[in-house]
Amino acid sequence: MEVTKITNATRTYKIGEVETKALRGVDLSIENGEFTALVGPSGSGKTTLLQLIGLLDQPTTGNVFINGKDATHLNRNQRADLRKDAIGFVFQFFALIPTLTAYENVEMPLLLNGTKPADRKKRVNEMLEAVGLTDRAHHRPDQLSGGQQQRVAVARALATNPKLILADEPTANLDTENGKQVMDIMQRLNKETGVTFVFATHDPRVINYANRVVTLQDGLITNDSKSNGKH
Amino acid sequence: MTQLFKLAYRNLWRNKTRSLLSSLAVAGGMSLLLLMASVLEGELRGALQNTIRLQSGHLQIRPASYEEGKISLKWEDMIADPDQVAGQIKSLPQVTVATPRLMASGILTLSDESKGVQIIGVDPASEANQPFREGMIAGEFIQADDREGILIGNILADKLKLNVGDQVNLLVTTSNGDVDEQLFTVRGIFTTRTPGFDESNVLMPISKAQAFTATENHASTIFVLLQENEQAELVAEALRSNNFQILTWRDQNQFVVQFEDYAGVFLVFLYLIVLGITATVVTNTLVMAVFERTREIGILAAIGMKGRGIMAQFLAEAALLATGGVIGGLIIGGAAVAYFTVNGVYIGDMGITGVLFEERIYAHLTLENAITLAIVTYIITLVASLYPARLAARMEPVEALHGLGD
Task: Work out how many domains chain B is built from and give that number.
Answer: 2
Q: Give residue B186's pLDDT.
A: 94
> pLDDT of chain A along its 231 residues, tens only?
788 999 999 999 888 888 889 899 999 999 999 999 999 988 899 999 999 999 999 999 999 999 888 999 898 889 998 998 889 998 888 789 988 999 999 999 998 888 899 999 999 999 899 888 899 999 999 999 888 998 999 899 989 889 899 999 888 888 888 888 888 888 988 998 889 999 999 888 888 889 899 999 999 999 998 876 554
- Percentage of chain B lying above the pLDDT 70 cut: 96
User: Both B138 and B276 in a single domain?
Assistant: no
Mean pLDDT, residues B135-140: 92
In the predicted model, is pLDDT for residue B53 greater than 50?
Answer: yes
What is the pTM for the complete model shown? 0.73
**B69 in reach of chain A (CB within 8 A):** no
Report how far apart, in Å, the C-alpha atoms of B70 and of each of B58, B73, B108, B355, B384 are: 20, 10, 20, 17, 56
Q: How far is A93 from chain B (nearest CA, A)?
A: 7
Which residues in chain B have their CB less than 8 angstroms from residue A99's CB?
7, 10-11, 13-14
User: Both B376 and B325 in a single domain?
Assistant: yes
Q: Give residue A118's pLDDT.
A: 93
- Read off the DSSP letter of residue A26: E
Domain boundary residue, one of B215, B241, B267 = B241
Q: Give residue B206's pLDDT.
A: 94
Mean pLDDT, residues B243-270: 83
ipTM confidence: 0.89
In the predicted model, is pLDDT for residue B354 greater than 70?
Answer: no
Which residues in chain A have their CB less than 8 angstroms from residue B296's CB?
97-98
Per-residue pLDDT band at B405 (split at 50, 70, 90): very low
Amino acid at A85: D
Q: Using DSSP, state whether B59 is helix, strand or coil.
A: strand
Please state, rounded to an integer, the average pLDDT across all residues of chain B: 87
User: Both B297 and B391 in a single domain?
Assistant: yes
- Measured CA to CA, the distance from residue A55 to residue A3 in angstroms comes to 13
Where do the DSSP E strands lie in B40-178?
Answer: 59-63, 79-80, 95-110, 113-122, 136-139, 149-153, 167-173
Which residues in chain A have their CB less than 8 angstroms from residue B397's CB?
56-57
Exposure string of B17-39, with b = 16+ CB inside 10 Å and e = fewer, is: eebbebbbbbbbbbbbbbbbbbb
Q: Give residue B287's pLDDT.
A: 92
Per-residue pLDDT band at B10 (split at 50, 70, 90): confident
- Selecting from A80, A92, A97 the residue whose C-beta is nearest the C-beta of B301 gives A80
User: Which range of residues forms the domain containing residue B14?
Assistant: 2-51+256-400
Q: Give residue B104's pLDDT.
A: 92
User: Both B92 and B129 in a single domain?
Assistant: yes
**Tens digit of each residue's pLDDT (9 = 90 or more) over B281-339:** 889 988 988 988 888 898 999 888 988 999 999 999 999 999 999 999 999 999 999 99
User: Both B87 and B45 in a single domain?
Assistant: no
User: Both B184 and B319 in a single domain?
Assistant: no
In the predicted model, is pLDDT for residue B347 greater than 80?
Answer: no
Q: Within a domain: residue B248?
A: no
In the predicted model, is pLDDT for residue B70 greater than 80?
Answer: no
Q: How far is A213 from chain B (nearest CA, A)?
A: 18
User: Both B185 and B315 in a single domain?
Assistant: no
Q: Within a domain: residue B13?
A: yes
Among the listed ranges A123-137, A142-156, B42-56, B135-149, which one has the minimum average pLDDT value?
Answer: B42-56
Query: Which residue ranges make up each domain of chain A?
Result: 2-226
**Tens digit of each residue's pLDDT (9 = 90 or more) over A21-47:** 989 999 999 999 999 999 998 889 999
Q: Give residue B170's pLDDT.
A: 93
- Measured CA to CA, the distance from residue A91 to residue A156 in angstroms comes to 11
| Cβ count near A213 (within 10 Å) | 18
Which residues in chain B have their CB less than 8 angstroms from residue A91's CB?
299, 302, 401, 404
Q: Give residue B353's pLDDT.
A: 56
Mean pLDDT, residues B198-207: 93
User: Both B83 and B150 in a single domain?
Assistant: yes
Domain boundary residue, one of B241, B273, B299 = B241
- Read off the DSSP letter of residue B227: S
Q: For the residues of B100-114, what is the DSSP string, one character each?
A: EEEEEEEEEEETTEE
The candidate with the shortest Cα–Cα distance to A183, out of A208, A213, A146, is: A208
Which residues in chain A have their CB less than 8 angstroms from residue B309's CB?
112
Which of A64, A112, A215, A216 should one mutate to test binding to chain B, selecting the residue with the greatest count of B CBs within 10 A? A112
Q: Using DSSP, state whether A122 is helix, strand or coil.
A: helix
Q: Within a domain: residue B217?
A: yes
Q: Give residue B330's pLDDT.
A: 93
Q: Give residue A175's pLDDT.
A: 83
User: Both B304 and B386 in a single domain?
Assistant: yes
User: Both B297 and B388 in a single domain?
Assistant: yes
Q: Within a domain: residue B299?
A: yes
Torsional class of B174: left (φ above 0), alpha (ψ -120 to 50), beta (otherwise): beta
Which of A38, A99, A149, A169 should one mutate to test binding to chain B, selecting the residue with the greatest count of B CBs within 10 A? A99
User: Both B92 and B13 in a single domain?
Assistant: no
Return the CATH class of domain A2-226: alpha beta
Rg over CA atoms, chain A? 17
| Cβ count near B302 (within 10 Å) | 27
User: Both B295 and B358 in a single domain?
Assistant: yes
Enumerate residues 6+ apart whose C-beta is below 8 A from A154: A90, A131, A165, A170, A182, A185, A186, A189
- Measured CA to CA, the distance from residue B205 to residue B145 in angstroms comes to 7
Per-residue pLDDT band at B43 (split at 50, 70, 90): confident
Q: Give residue A228's pLDDT.
A: 61
